[in-house]
Copies of this chain bind each other. A is one copy, B any other.
Amino acid sequence: MMQTSVSVGVDLGGTSIRIGVYDVGLELLGSHSMPTRVAAGPQEVVEEIAAAIAKLLRDHPGTRPIGVGIGSPGPINLQTGVLGLLPNFPGWDNFPLRDALQEATGLPVTIESDANAAALAEWKSCSDKTSGLQSMAMITLGTGVGSGLILDGKVWHGMFGMGGEVGHATVDPHGLPCACGSRGCLEMYASANGVIRLACAVAASEQGSTALRQVVNRPGGFMPLEIAQLAEHSDAASILVFQRMGFYLGVGIANLISTLDLPMIVVGGGMARAWDLFAPAMFDAVHNFSVVYRLVEPRQRILQELNSTFIRPATIGPSAGLLGAGMLPFLADEIQSHPALPILEEKFL
């Protein structure tokens, strides 16, 4: 029997793990989802993943796995595949995820940050007309703010595989202290937690509305979606929340464009569903804070003719991270793998 080459993608999240089997055309042949038992420790979870992969492959006879791609929360050393200090994974620090999964599955494993994997998926899924695109950034607005950069046709890893932490670039040096230890990080304003924070601030201010205060002050907390619903029903205070979020997101994107003159910025993650609420303020801020954007803005018209824009919402949705992970085993050239300074790596590792 002819065997079909497939790849296995693993999207390791703080809440759940998704596993997908893809053929070379990146069709999803089968998938499996399970909760992430963080407290059980990384070795146990790796063995669960390996067992789930084995079962998925047994369920698809005639397939030959060429490798496993895993998208992992960052920070992570992409050269060694060792996890950094992950706030949502207590006890997982410095775990050699890539090697452990390789050992457990007996398959070659390629590791990427989850944000890079999602960026890869969005990039490779560009329409035919924009498929010549060599560079882009993806910003993922979730609980936090992640980012992935594709530069000159390759996923950008940076010096030690930590490149592209746009969520922790500062958008206001006099702003709120961030859990990362910095101040005024984009993540403090443009993430789900950021929207919750902005909603509380607006509710407590003169500009707060009764409706917003009711949601914000309800015991047991609230979801950003509820603020979005109020905004969609024309609650001025809730609209202001998303305008502020859009302002800071726009400052962050403006800095990215000023620094790199990128042709495309894709905004994904759960909070991107509020696009219509924050996008006008975001575009205003990008225009107001980036002379590079203003200079290249006329070309926006051409992108629009191609049914695209410089700055656009993600098209793939929540499965981007899984799809990107599934792509990894098929891609070798598109993964930046050189160390920035070989002598440094030798000495440090």
Could you tell me which A residues sit within 8 Å of B by CB distance? 75, 84-85, 129-130, 132-135, 149, 151-152, 154, 156-166, 168-174, 180-185, 247-248, 251, 254-256, 258-264, 285, 288-292, 294-296, 298-299, 302-303, 305-306, 336, 338, 340-344, 347-348
Contacts and interface: CB of A to CB of B under 8 A. Distances in A.
Nearest to A340: B263
A172 to B, nearest CB: 6
B156 A260 contact: yes
Most B CB atoms within 10 A — which of A149, A248, A291, A296? A291
Given A84-B295, A291-B180, A342-B132, A172 B173 contact: yes
B169 A259 contact: yes
B132 A303 contact: no
A348 to B, nearest CB: 6
Contact of A173 (B152, B168, B171): B171
Given A134-B341, A165-B292, A289-B170, A261 B158 contact: yes
A330 B348 CA distance: 34
Contacts of A336: 152
Contacts of A168: 258, 290-292
A196 to B, nearest CB: 21
A134 B151 CA distance: 14
B181 A75 contact: no
Nearest to A137: B259
A157 B134 CA distance: 12
Contacts of A171: 170, 173
A181 B170 CA distance: 21
Contacts of A184: 289
B292 A162 contact: yes
Nearest to A167: B258
Contact of A158 (B130, B262, B338): B262
Contacts of A299: 160, 344, 348
Contact of A302 (B183, B292, B344): B344
A318 B157 CA distance: 32
Nearest to A133: B341
A261 B291 contact: no
A119 B32 CA distance: 49
Contacts of A347: 302, 305
A130 B341 contact: yes
B338 A134 contact: yes
A302 B254 CA distance: 34
Contacts of A248: 173
Contact of A261 (B160, B254, B264): B160
A165 B340 contact: no
A331 to B, nearest CB: 16
A77 to B, nearest CB: 10
B251 A295 contact: no
Interface-central residue, A247, A336, A343, by most chain B CB under 10 Å: A343
Contacts of A183: 288-289
